[in-house]
């Protein structure tokens, strides 16, 4: 029974693959526009991954993480506006 449990756990882990982050080439700059593009790309990948999940608890956790990334982008916009 234990062997079957571990085999089932291994099969479940292989069902969902985390997508590879494909960043645009110009994100290498550490300025607010580059950071915003990186945040947008990360949010997009999180959403793609969240839609693959069947576990509601994990989906909610990813939604909370996305809201945090939105808040970070908002703070970055404020900081960039203050610098001008």
CA 30 distance to own-chain centroid:
19
pLDDT of residue 22: 62
Q: Are 39 and 72 in contact, with CB atoms under 8 Å apart?
A: yes
Calculate the average pLDDT of the chain.
82
pLDDT tens by residue, 54-80: 889 999 999 999 999 999 999 999 998
Distance CA 61, CA 48 (A): 14
Token pair for residue 3?
A: 């062997």
**What would the 3-class secondary structure string for 9-52 be?**
HHHHHHHCCCCCCCCCHHHHCCCHHHHHHHHHHHHHHHHHHHHH
- The pLDDT of residue 24 is 58
């Amino acid at each position: 029974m234990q062997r079957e449990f571990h085999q089932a756990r291994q099969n479940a882990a292989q069902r969902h693959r985390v997508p590879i982050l494909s960043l645009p080439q110009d994100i290498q700059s550490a300025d607010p526009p580059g950071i915003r593009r990186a945040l947008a790309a990360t949010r997009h990948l999180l959403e793609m991954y969240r839609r693959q999940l069947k576990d509601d608890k994990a989906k909610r956790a990813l939604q909370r993480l996305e809201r945090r990334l939105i808040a970070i982008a908002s703070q970055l916009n404020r900081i960039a506006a203050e610098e001008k």
